[in-house]
Structure 1
Amino acid sequence: MAGTKQENGSCITLKGSAQLVSEFFYYGINSILFQRGIYPPDSFTSKQHYGLTLCITTDNGVKDYLNNVLAQIKDWLEAGEVQRLVLVMTNVDTKEVVERWDFNVQLEHGFGPQSIKEGKVGNKDLKLIQREMRAVMCQITACVTFLPLLDCTCSFDLLVYTHESADVPDKWAESAPCFISNSQEVRLRSFSTSVHKVDGCVSYKVDV
Structure 2
Amino acid sequence: MATTLQSNTVTLQGSAAIVAEFFEFSVNSILYQRGVYPPENFCRVQKYGLTMLVTDDERLKDYLQGVANQLKELLRKKMIRQLVLVIADVETKETLERWEFKVHVDEEMTEESAPKTKELKTIQQEIAAIIRQIVASVTFLPQLEGQLAFDLLVYTKKDGEVNEELWADSKPMLIEGGQMVKIKSFSTSVHSVDAAVVYR
The alignment's TM-score, normalised by the length of structure 1, stands at 0.92
Contact 2:3 2:13 in 1 (8 A): no
Q: How many angstroms does 1:53 deviate by?
A: 0.3
Task: Give structure 1 regions of 4+ aligned residues with deviation exceeding 4 angstroms.
Answer: none
Q: 1:94–1:181: structure 2 CA closer, same or farther, 3 Å change rule? A: same
1:126 is the counterpart of 2:120? yes
Aligned position for 2:50: 52
Contact 2:3 2:10 in 1 (8 A): no
Aligned position for 2:23: 25
Aligned position for 1:139: 133
Distance, in Å, in 2 between the alignment partners of 1:121 and 1:6 is 8
**1:171-197 deviations in whole A, cap 9, x for unaligned?**
231110110123100000000000000
Distance, in Å, in 2 between the alignment partners of 1:169 and 1:142 is 34
Aligned position for 2:160: 166
Q: Which runs of 5+ in 1 are unaligned?
A: none
Contact 2:3 2:15 in 1 (8 A): no
Distance, in Å, in 2 between the alignment partners of 1:5 and 1:165 is 27
Q: How many angstroms does 1:120 deviate by?
A: 2.6
Aligned position for 1:104: 102
Say what the alpha-carbon RMSD is for the aligned residues: 1.2
Aligned position for 1:199: 194
Q: Which runs of 5+ in 2 are unaligned?
A: none
Distance, in Å, in 1 between the alignment partners of 2:46 and 2:196 is 24
Letter in 2 for 1:138: R
**1:10-69 deviations in whole A, cap 9, x for unaligned?**
110000000000010111110001001111111100000011000000111111111111
Q: How many angstroms does 1:170 deviate by?
A: 3.1
Q: How many angstroms does 1:162 deviate by?
A: 0.3
Q: How many angstroms does 1:109 deviate by?
A: 5.9
**From 65, 68, 86, the counterpart of 2:66:** 68
Distance, in Å, in 2 between the alignment partners of 1:39 and 1:120 is 43
Letter in 1 for 2:111: I
1:83 is the counterpart of 2:81? yes
The alignment's TM-score, normalised by the length of structure 2, stands at 0.96
Distance, in Å, in 2 between the alignment partners of 1:110 and 1:163 is 16
Percent identity for Structure 1 against Structure 2:
45
Distance, in Å, in 1 between the alignment partners of 2:21 and 2:194 is 15
1:178 is the counterpart of 2:173? yes
Task: State the aligned residue count.
Answer: 199
